[in-house]
Structure 1
């Protein structure tokens, strides 16, 4: 069976030199000529490995051979890479921030809340009680500050609009599924172009955050269930699905997807996912599917 190793660097500083590609080819058994997907940003190398090879093992070997070059390496079957369902985490994935941390900054508790967020995303504490604790600290905050946070602090991760626009143009359904809040996923999902968004509901009373969140909380299990539900709705096989996230509560959906991508993720998540992107932006998920620069829609 033919496999392909996709090499990806950040579009802000393309790092795919001739030497990098040659070093990768020297490691890959039965490698063919590299096909450039986007200049010095992304390329793929077909190769024919032995039957008993380890995907993660060969990825690690290629990374070591690149001697620290800021290049992501992902190995997968060459056939069937283009996906028809895309499910994405929001915080620290499709946007650069953690929304609850930014809300906490409004009441002078960002450092405290961010520490809890970090532990939850690393899988050191359970997500649901950690969310309840953090939401409780926001009690009494004006709900109107959400608009301020969206306007002044939230920044879309580079490549996200192009990723969603290109996949939708090629027939995929896209869903933003977050352990965050509808007050954010609605506007963010619309800005990026997702078909739908799902997240948690913050209780608001008299224009103030009540310090509670609607139950049941959308966490790890609900994210996984959403991927399965949408996959079944569109009569797709698991191999036709793609998921991306960075935290421990994304591990279920990353494992369930045909291709689960850990994006600039916590160590536990990066180690467990099918693929990891540590250097590229979100267009990396298009190159993993074999899209070329000419096929990418800017959104």
Structure 2
């Protein structure tokens, strides 16, 4: 029997996690003393074992805007964060923003949605979408970064706190290096990996350099970086939202489906639908006062 920790999370913007809600679940499950990690946002309590009603109670709490995570208590604080970029560390899909600038936004965003939901082959879908960007001035990339990209709340605190506690962070994206370099630098990632858009005479050629980084490459990155750090996969926390993230989410000690596509979330044990990236700190046992902020 493995001791467990149950963590309840609300959206920080609302901070409406009720003490009564936490206490009612603790009492129903026979849990231990409640520890508040951030008032109105996150609380946890210990359990002897994961309850049989876990997913029924998870569904009920979802309707109240509350996330519920149940995981082994031992080893939940991780040493390596590996993260997806689009719709995870940032609020957009970069290729969709480029496509909108190129006048093919609706067509490309439909392909993106289907690919991220696992309905299309990732490599084929990426090749098709990049082909529609042929002729777009390279300068549009900087324009999109400046005018259209927003960062998911909690990202900088997540990186800074884990790194201050000896952690390492890698941004591994099926998107493009022109974006990961900027996003990774802004958030404080130690390294980034992504695909390279090919450019000629200042314009996109409509092609991407081979090999294409997708699901398998993300899994390989997790394995390679973990080995370099001298840690096991159990010391990794991974976060993503799309079908091409499922491999690394499954390999990591803690794989977090963050605001994920339904078909993706259904395959993950840790699902955060209401919280932001700070949820990854709370589920590791960090309290708000432990966060490193700049």
Q: Which runs of 5+ in 2 are unaligned?
A: none
TM-score by length of 1: 0.95
Which residue does 1:128 correspond to in 2?
123
Report matched runs for 1:36-51 at 5 Å: 36-49=36-49
| Range 80-89 or range 10-19, more displaced | 10-19
CA displacement, residues 195-226 of structure 1 (integer Å, 9 cap, x when unaligned): 01000000000000000000110000000000
Tell me how far apart the structure 1 counterparts of residues 39 and 183 of structure 2 sit (CA, whole Å): 31
What is the total number of aligned residue pairs between the two structures?
Answer: 293
CA offset at residue 67 of structure 1?
7.2
Q: Which runs of 5+ in 1 are unaligned?
A: none
Report matched runs for 1:1-299 at 5 Å: 1-28=2-29, 30-49=30-49, 58-66=53-61, 68-299=63-294
CA offset at residue 26 of structure 1?
3.1
CA offset at residue 237 of structure 1?
1.6
TM-score by length of 2: 0.97
Tell me how far apart the structure 2 counterparts of residues 265 and 22 of structure 1 sit (CA, whole Å): 28
SS in 1 for 2:86: helix
- 8 Å contact from structure 2 (residues 122, 244) kept in 1: yes
Tell me how far apart the structure 2 counterparts of residues 282 and 187 of structure 1 sit (CA, whole Å): 19
Instruction: Return closer, same or farther for 1:178/1:67 CA change in 2, 3 Å cut-off.
Output: closer
Tell me how far apart the structure 2 counterparts of residues 45 and 102 of structure 1 sit (CA, whole Å): 42
Q: Give RMSD over aligned pairs.
A: 1.2
Tell me how far apart the structure 1 counterparts of residues 275 and 111 of structure 2 sit (CA, whole Å): 27
Instruction: Return closer, same or farther for 1:123/1:242 CA change in 2, 3 Å cut-off.
Output: same
SS in 1 for 2:88: helix
